[in-house]
Amino acid sequence: MQVDHDAGRTAFLDGLRALRVVADGLDDDQLLAASRCRGWTVGDVLVHVHLGLQEMLLGVVSPTDRSPNTDAASYWSTPTGRQPAAGPVGHVRFVRAMGVAYQCPTGIVSHLHPTADAIAVAVAALPEGAVAIQGRTMRTGDFLATWALELAVHHLDLGAELTLDPPAPAALTTARATVEELAGGPLPWEDETAVLIATGRLRPDEEQVARAGPLAARLPVLG
């Protein structure tokens, strides 16, 4: 799955903008609500996003002449795709510890702002080509698409208990295209449902399983 540079950039920047608008509207109580990520509050998810954006900057500033060896879908199909060194449980605990270190939950959002501003400027100026990230080489469009998916999915994660505006259409479309590529075919649900089921956030009911047919056995494709 290869994503055009401009399409990947639009999906990422739109996704980041939409997530920031939602985050800016949350108060301390809402940031303490449960998210769709096991063990994390809404604020904890934003801490995780902040850490991810800092990691993403490493790719933005690492252009390379090497031939790409990973695309927007294959990135997620190998075990080294953005896996914390301490393992999943260790990362959950680490993020929770960071979240509770803030004097108040809204401090999480305030701290996110300068990083989000910096990455938006850097991505807007990123030329088309290839970047080196996590020992891989990716086309810039594919690189940006992976982070657009990350933003869209975590945007949806914030809505377990809260009623929020949806992710940016371009980011959600990119996320859907990615999970369908990993699943091996089109999923028979609207975008949010498809992404939530394909990433293990939502368990499909019997009717949804029947509609998906053989693809149901391949889900979720991301955890």
Average pLDDT of every residue of the chain: 94
Confidence class of residue 223 from pLDDT cuts 50, 70 and 90?
confident
Please state, for a pLDDT cut of 90, what percent of the chain lies above it: 90
Which residues lie across from 130 on neighbouring strands?
Answer: 139
pLDDT tens for each residue of 73-106: 999 986 554 444 455 788 889 999 999 999 999 9
Kindly state the average pLDDT of the residues 29-35. 98
DSSP 68: P
Kindly state the average pLDDT of the residues 62-66. 95
Kindly state the average pLDDT of the residues 210-215. 95
Question: Distance between CA 14 and CA 35 in Å, rounded?
Answer: 22
Kindly state the average pLDDT of the residues 125-129. 97
Q: What distance separates the 2 farthest-apart alpha carbons in the chain?
A: 49
pLDDT tens for each residue of 139-153: 999 999 999 999 999
> What is the model's pLDDT at position 87?
59
> What is the model's pLDDT at position 88?
76
CATH: 3.40.190.10, 3.90.1150.110, 3.40.50.920, 1.20.120.450. Which one for 5-218? 1.20.120.450
Question: Distance between CA 98 and CA 86 in Å, rounded?
Answer: 15
> How long a stretch of residues is the chain?
223
> What is the model's pLDDT at position 145?
98
Torsion, CA 117, CA 136, CA 177, CA 189, rounded to 10: -90
pTM (predicted TM-score): 0.94
pLDDT tens for each residue of 176-206: 999 999 999 999 999 999 999 999 999 999 9
Q: Check: CB of residue 115 under 8 Å from CB of residue 49.
A: no
Question: Distance between CA 152 and CA 141 in Å, rounded?
Answer: 16
Question: Distance between CA 206 and CA 219 in Å, rounded?
Answer: 14
Selection from 56, 180, 68 nearest residue 119 by Cα: 56
DSSP line for 114-158: HHHHHHHHHHHHPPSSEEEETTEEEEHHHHHHHHHHHHHHHHHHT
Selection from 160, 188, 178 nearest residue 221 by Cα: 178
> What is the model's pLDDT at position 81?
46
Kindly state the average pLDDT of the residues 117-142. 96
> What is the model's pLDDT at position 78?
65
